[in-house]
Structure 1
Amino acid sequence: MSKTTSSPSWISDGSDIPDPHGHAERAVQFLRGLKHPKSRLPGRAFELPLWQERIVRKIYGPCDEAGDRLARTVVILLPRGNRKTSLGAALALLHTIGFERMPGGQVICSASDKKQARIAYEEAVGILDQEPRFKHVLAFQDYKNKIVHAKSGTALEAISADAGTQHGRTPTFALVDELHAWKSRELWDVIRTGLVKVPGSLMVVISTAGRGQENIAWDIVDYARKVQSGEIDDPSYVPVIFESAKDADWQDEDVWRAVNPGLADGFPDIKGLRALAREAANRPGDREAFRQLHLNVWLDHSADPFVDMEDYDRGSAPIDLDAFARQPCWLGVDLSSNSDLTVIVAAFRDAADGFVVVPWFFCPADNLRRRSELDGVPYTTWAEDGFITPTPGNVVDFRRVEEAIRDLCARFDVREIAFDPHLARNMLNNLSEDGFPAVEMRQGWVTMAPAVKELERAIVGGSFQHGGHPVLRWNFQNISVETDKAGNRMFHKGKSRDRIDGAVAAAMAVARAAAGEDERSIYSDFGERPEGLMVW
């Protein structure tokens, strides 16, 4: 397999997949005995191409010494159009009316919202509608998105992450659809902890690639990647990861075929992909969507990223902050409204003519979990791990922020404390009156464009160290970039509500560190020092 693409080797190498008890063969024959309303085969027989058949055999064949199925979690990452939902619905039926059925079992089809949850449910109903015999043994409760096998009491039900509490579930089989779209991990945790109550339970995750790394989908897929590569040995996991690398040629049809196994069987439509690719060649937003949805490239949040996050991640080595005690330091401070993050970023110059930055984030403590759900990131976990400091109430307590600045000035040789004066007037005056080097740094084009330029130069040049702080990384990957006619670049959120406050403060701190260390001001390219920037 090319280094530009990844897929499980056992899918196509013809290797033997153990099936000592015939459970895999039984599952394959059950699926082949189904009918699908859109099937092109005679009698509308369920289409199970060889690569999907091998997935089924990999799930149900291998057993431990006691004869129990090894697989407990299956992670299938496939681009759109490869019929993963049809396969997932058929597997759900295998556990509802097939040989894997358990008396009184709960078979769950779960998704991010009610509409998405209905997709797999309706797929299952469409399959059952092709066989009149099923109608005599099943009760269809469509208003509940539920199908009940009366004789055994096994029920298939569609649920969603936006439907309130789902606690008390004890699923025997769970289909998790399009995990990349889940904004909260609450339902995931309910399902995951419920599955362990039942011997022989199974979870099947089916998804396309997503965006960003601060979400449950990234965590699960990244773990599956490591199992697939052999980095982690976990026989309970069956990873089926088809994806192309970020630097793969997105217009190369060989790359398309490598990560879309269904193309060999006529799906998705190759002519349709070609049409999308032609349009995407001239529209960057469409190009990113094509790479994500049809090549399974896991993207950063922004469709117009500031820098390649692989360049950014080169600075993730741990930072020994004690080594910088009493060293020259420049602070960038971005104070927030009640919905944004407040952040202090300290920038130091290192021996390699680069920058080391360390952030301190603050947010309101009230409704911290609700904020996690709205932004789709783990604020509560970050707070528990010390990456964010929650302050009492529903707005950031600026007194706590000012105390933190004063503590940093006692710990390091702080040369400047740069503030955007918006919201900062009182704090700036308090610090100035007490002799601290507080300065204004307005966040307009004239001031921030050279700061952004200096920050970009450091990141791309590999001279920007940040220690892998997860909140700061999230802020950087959220950045969209606006460019003026002169080629100057400026941060903005675009249409996103995601936070970029840490990146803004980092740009401020790095810019002042560069100016403080170099006799040539970074603002000299812009003709004159911007009004309102006070330099001590």
Structure 2
Amino acid sequence: MPYKSANVRRMHARDRYRTKAIERKKAAKKAAESFPRVPDDPVQQVKLIREWSRELKTPAGHPRVGLPMELPDYACAFLERALTVPESGLIIARKNAKSTILAIFCLAYLIGPMKAPNWRGSIVSLSLHKTRELLTLANQIIIANELPLRIKKTPYPGQILNDRSGAILECLSADKHSGHSGGYDLCCVDEGGLMDADKHRELLAGLHSSLSAREGRLIHITIRGDCELIEELIKRSIETPKTTYVKVYDAPEECAIQDADAWAAANPGIQCGIKSEQYMRDRAVQVANSPDDELLFRAHDLNQRVNPGKQVLCSVSEWQRLEVDELPAREGPCYAGVDLADTDSMACFAVYWPATGRLEIKGAFPLVPDLKTRGKRDKCGVAYLTMQTEGSLILTGERVTDASNFLAMCFEDLSGSDLIALGADRYRKQDLPNVLAEVPYTPDVVWRGTGASAVADGSHDVRAFRRAVLSEQIKVLPLAMWRTALRYAVIKYPDGQNPKLDKSLRRGRIDAMQASVIAVGLGALEPAQERRTPGFYMVGGQ
């Protein structure tokens, strides 16, 4: 029943306003008491998170069930530096508690010692399946420790909410989101090393933008893989250490798969008891007997810069068995392969002696740009300078590789050898004759189709090269040119059957392998060897 007196109505409204004001003050006081004061020092912040992680119990389904989920030393050392910069990255081999580190760190902001009102974070995984795995892990930790958090399954794949503080952790999938407009205090990217640079660059740009309003942080935890985005992150950490920090745990590129020191370098969790050394030992034996699994082992367990989703022409271990300190003699007929340069790219010339297995390689670049600048542009560091020091790379031409001068030097070096034929890609049928016209030698040219079609020769050459590698009928020097090309020498199967070298990566530097595959492929053509007579003559000679 409404009040009849205006004075009574005013008094009632005043009392109601005072009551609500008192309730708001009490709620604010209670909220202030429930949110701990977070120290400004990142070291102290990580110390609080680690102490809190000791109180968490490992959920069921894990070998350490019931034991404290303490952050390992290497995770704490990384987080201490990560909390001082806007962007950071922990690049580490698989099964070193990456998902657990992410879960504990994010839960510390949701309900732990770092909690704050209306905090907002996100975890971005490579796929919906991986996102659900992380969400499931977080849910298991919440249930095992009876944390007052709520899992919401919409929008899919889900969110974790703290209804008391208003904090939200969103779980996002990289294959479903191309950019995010929400504002975040923290973004964590899981397994960025397996992302596609062209496909996911927009995603990372969107995440950077979503952090701008709250001055948030972006943290990457991943294996290295072969993603340009991760290589760019590592490069930024070197060039701008005040804004980017990256810690990489990886094994040396040329290490043996049985090297225990390499295992420890890529897996700090072995020392902490997180990852089993016995697993590494058993897995290395399995991989030694199954060469096709070596790429996966090097990517996942040694954290090397390789793409585990692609099939390479030759594994590192297979190639290391071919390396010798001194090459065998130049005996018997030989076969050459050439990969002409495109404008300012590398030209390569390979020579193979089937009788002894000797395989030589030479490469050439123009003078401009210099090798240091070119290496930075091609993202291969000082590899080109190393090739020049080893003598396998020469400079010829100003801004365009002088192919005629380069081939003349290579032919001159073969003086006295029995060169049967020079193999070249038939797509350069218009270019190579013009180049050879300026060379004082006339080799017998054999045009090779480097594709995988029924009329191409690329599949034969690739198979011949693989047979020669597996039977160790090739002997090479341990040169940087081989090792650089080996990383990017990927095989494709366009029609599901016939292999060919993948040339889609413009800066891949597979030129040495392309020339070598042609040379070894020619050497394997026995009918051609019987049919052809030596065709290497000095112009004007007898």
Q: Deviations over 1:204-230 (max 9, x none)?
A: 2111231x3x52123224555x4xxxx
Please identify, of 82-91 and 232-241, the stretch whose mean Cα deviation from structure 2 is larger.
232-241
Q: 1:150 to 1:263 in 2, by over 3 A?
A: same
Q: 1:457 to 1:155 in 2, by over 3 A?
A: same
SS state at 1:115 partner: helix
Per the TM alignment, residue 173 of structure 1 is displaced from its structure 2 partner at its CA by 0.8
Maintained 8 Å contact 1:355/1:458 = no
Counterparts of 1:31 and 1:106, CA distance in 2:
20
Tell me if 1:156 matches 2:143: no
Residue aligning to 1:45? 68
Maintained 8 Å contact 2:85/2:242 = yes
Residue aligning to 2:489? 478
Residue aligning to 1:190? 206
Q: Deviations over 1:38-59 (max 9, x none)?
A: 4677955323344434444454
Per the TM alignment, residue 149 of structure 1 is displaced from its structure 2 partner at its CA by 2.3
Per the TM alignment, residue 293 of structure 1 is displaced from its structure 2 partner at its CA by 1.6
Counterparts of 2:50 and 2:432, CA distance in 1:
72
Counterparts of 1:202 and 1:281, CA distance in 2:
42
Q: 1:106 to 1:412 in 2, by over 3 A?
A: farther
Q: 1:129 to 1:343 in 2, by over 3 A?
A: farther
Maintained 8 Å contact 2:120/2:167 = yes
Maintained 8 Å contact 1:78/1:242 = yes
Per the TM alignment, residue 175 of structure 1 is displaced from its structure 2 partner at its CA by 1.3
Per the TM alignment, residue 151 of structure 1 is displaced from its structure 2 partner at its CA by 3.6
Q: Which residue among 136, 155, 159 is the counterpart of 1:146?
A: 159
Counterparts of 1:125 and 1:235, CA distance in 2:
35
Residue aligning to 1:279? 286
Counterparts of 2:154 and 2:295, CA distance in 1:
37
Per the TM alignment, residue 86 of structure 1 is displaced from its structure 2 partner at its CA by 0.5
Per the TM alignment, residue 481 of structure 1 is displaced from its structure 2 partner at its CA by 11
Q: Which residue among 140, 163, 178 is the counterpart of 1:126?
A: 140
Per the TM alignment, residue 90 of structure 1 is displaced from its structure 2 partner at its CA by 1.1
Counterparts of 1:506 and 1:497, CA distance in 2:
12
Maintained 8 Å contact 2:90/2:246 = yes
Maintained 8 Å contact 2:462/2:517 = no
* Identity score, percent: 19
Per the TM alignment, residue 134 of structure 1 is displaced from its structure 2 partner at its CA by 0.8
Q: 1:128 to 1:288 in 2, by over 3 A?
A: same
Per the TM alignment, residue 493 of structure 1 is displaced from its structure 2 partner at its CA by 4.1
Maintained 8 Å contact 1:35/1:43 = yes
SS state at 1:243 partner: coil
Residue aligning to 2:118? 104
Q: Letter of the 1:31 partner, please give it.
A: S
Q: Letter of the 1:527 partner, please give it.
A: Q
Q: Aligned pair count?
A: 398
Q: 1:51 to 1:459 in 2, by over 3 A?
A: same
Counterparts of 1:445 and 1:493, CA distance in 2:
6
Counterparts of 1:94 and 1:295, CA distance in 2:
30
Counterparts of 2:76 and 2:512, CA distance in 1:
51
What is the TM-score when the length of structure 1 is the normalising length? 0.57
Residue aligning to 2:352? none
Q: Which residue among 239, 253, 261 is the counterpart of 2:260?
A: 253
Q: Deviations over 1:57-115 (max 9, x none)?
A: 4545xxxxxxxxx2333311222221111011111112223343454333111112111
Tell me if 1:298 matches 2:321: no
Q: 1:463 to 1:451 in 2, by over 3 A?
A: farther
Maintained 8 Å contact 1:333/1:344 = no
Q: 1:175 to 1:441 in 2, by over 3 A?
A: same
Counterparts of 2:210 and 2:159, CA distance in 1:
19
SS state at 2:58 partner: coil
Q: Letter of the 1:26 partner, please give it.
A: L
Tell me if 1:209 matches 2:211: no
Q: Which residue among 441, 449, 453 is the counterpart of 2:447?
A: 441
SS state at 2:110 partner: coil
Per the TM alignment, residue 445 of structure 1 is displaced from its structure 2 partner at its CA by 7.1
Counterparts of 1:41 and 1:273, CA distance in 2:
19
Per the TM alignment, residue 268 of structure 1 is displaced from its structure 2 partner at its CA by 1.7
Per the TM alignment, residue 243 of structure 1 is displaced from its structure 2 partner at its CA by 1.4
Maintained 8 Å contact 1:523/1:529 = no
SS state at 1:204 partner: strand
Alignment of structure 1 residues 210-229 onto 2, 5 Å: 210=225, 212=226, 215-221=228-234, 223-224=236-237, 226=238
Q: Letter of the 1:160 partner, please give it.
A: S
Q: 1:501 to 1:118 in 2, by over 3 A?
A: same
Q: Letter of the 2:99 partner, please give it.
A: T
Which protein is bigger by CA-based radius of gyration?
A: 2
Q: 1:308 to 1:55 in 2, by over 3 A?
A: closer
Alignment of structure 1 residues 133-532 onto 2, 5 Å: 133-135=147-149, 138=150, 140-141=152-153, 144=156, 145-184=158-197, 185-199=201-215, 201-210=216-225, 212=226, 215-221=228-234, 223-224=236-237, 226=238, 232=239, 234-299=241-306, 303-306=311-314, 347=347, 355-357=362-364, 441-443=447-449, 444=457, 477-480=488-491, 492-493=499-500, 527=529
Counterparts of 2:515 and 2:503, CA distance in 1:
24
Counterparts of 2:234 and 2:293, CA distance in 1:
24
Q: Deviations over 1:411-431 (max 9, x none)?
A: 98999999755xx6xx96999
SS state at 2:219 partner: strand
Counterparts of 2:43 and 2:312, CA distance in 1:
52
Q: List alignment gaps of at least 5 residues for structure 1.
A: 1-17, 61-69, 227-231, 312-329, 335-341, 360-380, 383-407, 466-472, 483-490, 514-520
Q: Aligned-pair RMSD on alpha carbons? A: 5.5
SS state at 1:125 partner: helix
